[in-house]
Chain A
Amino acid sequence: MGSLKPVDEATTQEGFLATRVDELINWGRKNSLWPMPLGLSCCGIELMAMIGPKFDLARFGAEAARFSPRQCDLMVVAGTLTWKMAEAARVIYDQMPDPKWVIAMGVCSSSGGMYDSYSVVQGVDMILPVDVYVPGCPPRPDAVIDAIIKLQRKIEREQPLKARLSGANLDHGIGSKAFVRAPNHSVPTRGSHAVLPPGELAP
């Protein structure tokens, strides 16, 4: 599970205990992701297929979908997010306990997709910090499983104990000014709205 650093290197850089405990915490986190299925349109059907027995997300430890954000740590935005729904999506995200991750499933949630329209959020990264984007309309369940594996690789690189010991602000919820962690700058935004720079509040 994961890439183990040589003991010498780990000891000199961050201390043996911290790296070992980080490995342990990350191992636990990445293999027990609990998805919050935010099925907003047709992507939701593929999401159900992915969680079901045929594609069997249980192989990756992420089959325990709960419909309560309090019990989830992985939000899968599956489908077209409208501006009217955006407030609800943000509230659900804020209700999830830390640590939490977001997968933008499908082109609609990644960039607005074909809905270049007044009612659709042009990428959920305008309102949520997205970790993994999955292209496709809708993406096959395999593609989303690939995204979950990529997210597991990302979780492996996190340093939860170091962050805790250094006293960093772990609150990514409503009290955090850094409410957009990774805006999708590669997607050109049109119209009157623009992606906010990281850490900046909406005017």
Chain B
Amino acid sequence: MSAPSANALDRVQSGLAALNPKSIAARDGMPAFEIEAEQVREACRLLRDACGFETNTFVTAIDHFPAEPRFELFWQFLSVQHNDRVRLSARVTGAHPHVASIGDLYPGTQYSERECYDMFGVVFDGHTSHAGGLKRLLMPEGYDHFPLRKDFPHQGIEPDKLYNAWFQRRFERHEREHADV
């Protein structure tokens, strides 16, 4: 990773000055800022409109279980016109982890937000990729747990539950339909 780009730092510090972001010395040298979870939407809007970051590359999280606030969320942005990147982070609590969706500002984040919800259970308020709101991406619909949380056992919690329920429903339907045979 290249040395921190003063250019990106300056742009973000002037663009987000109203939100008073806390600059973080990131180990990979990328300009990084921590903000309040409530300000994420406004910060992302400013990054797009005032700082020239037109692309979001990912949304993800780190689970700091059992510390609180438990989840550290990350948004990483790329500016194609300036050829530099910036990272935003925000902390949310473990009881009801939720943050505003930026899917309408950066349409490419829809899948990242769905994956983040699927793996960590972080709810993105106002997510619009489906009529019903946030849907799981990789795990089957109806699964109750979030696999990348630190308190999730790697062998899973009832991994066969959905399959068995499906099989049972299917078997009962078959017996109903062939009751006269």
Q: Which residues of B contact A87 (CB under 8 A)?
A: 163, 166-167
A81 to chain B, nearest CB (A): 11
| Given A83-B140, A118-B155, A190-B155; A201-B163 close (CB under 8 Å) | no
A117 at the interface (CB under 8 A from B): yes
A202 at the interface (CB under 8 A from B): yes
B130 at the interface (CB under 8 A from A): no
B35 to chain A, nearest CB (A): 33
B158 at the interface (CB under 8 A from A): yes
Q: Which residues of A contact B96 (CB under 8 A)?
A: none
B156 at the interface (CB under 8 A from A): yes
Tell me the count of chain A residues lying within 8 A, CB to CB, of chain B.
22
> A193 to B158, Cβ gap below 8 A?
yes
> B160 to A83, Cβ gap below 8 A?
yes
Q: Which residues of A contact B154 (CB under 8 A)?
A: 116-118
B139 at the interface (CB under 8 A from A): yes
| SS class, residues of chain B in contact with chain A | loop
B175 at the interface (CB under 8 A from A): yes
- Most B CB within 10 A of own CB, among A116, A175, A179: A175
Task: Name the residue on B nearest A112 (C-beta).
Answer: B155
How far is it, in angstroms, between the C-alpha of A47 and the C-alpha of B139 when the chains are bound? Answer: 28
> B171 to A83, Cβ gap below 8 A?
no
How far is it, in angstroms, between the C-alpha of A193 and the C-alpha of B147 when the chains are bound? Answer: 16
> B156 to A119, Cβ gap below 8 A?
yes
Q: Which residues of B contact A118 (CB under 8 A)?
A: 147, 152-157, 159
> B160 to A193, Cβ gap below 8 A?
yes
| SS class, residues of chain A in contact with chain B | loop
Bitwise, A109-152 to B at CB < 8 A (1) or not (0) is 00000001111010000110000000000000000000000000
Q: Which residues of A contact B155 (CB under 8 A)?
A: 116-118, 190-192
Q: Which residues of B contact A174 (CB under 8 A)?
A: 170-171, 174
Bitwise, A74-98 to B at CB < 8 A (1) or not (0) is 0000000001101100100000000
Q: Which residues of B contact A83 (CB under 8 A)?
A: 140, 159-160, 162-163
Q: Which residues of B contact A86 (CB under 8 A)?
A: 163
Q: Which residues of B contact A117 (CB under 8 A)?
A: 154-156
Task: Name the residue on B nearest A196 (C-beta).
Answer: B164
A167 at the interface (CB under 8 A from B): no
| Given A119-B147, A193-B160; A175-B166 close (CB under 8 Å) | no
| Given A83-B140, A86-B163; A191-B156 close (CB under 8 Å) | yes
B81 to chain A, nearest CB (A): 40
> A202 to B164, Cβ gap below 8 A?
yes
A203 at the interface (CB under 8 A from B): yes
A156 to chain B, nearest CB (A): 32
A interface vs B, CB < 8 Å? Answer: 83-84, 86-87, 90, 116-119, 121, 126-127, 174-175, 179, 190-193, 201-203
Q: Could you write out 14 A-B pairs with CB less than 8 Å apart? A: A83-B162, A84-B140, A90-B167, A116-B155, A117-B154, A118-B154, A118-B159, A119-B147, A121-B160, A191-B156, A192-B158, A193-B159, A202-B160, A203-B168
Sorted nearest first, the 9 A-B pairs with minimum C-beta distance are: A118-B156, A191-B155, A202-B164, A193-B160, A84-B140, A174-B174, A86-B163, A118-B159, A192-B158
Known A201-B167, A201-B168; 17 more pairs at CB < 8 Å: A84-B139, A118-B147, A119-B147, A119-B156, A119-B159, A126-B160, A127-B167, A175-B175, A190-B155, A191-B155, A191-B156, A192-B155, A192-B156, A192-B157, A193-B158, A193-B160, A202-B163
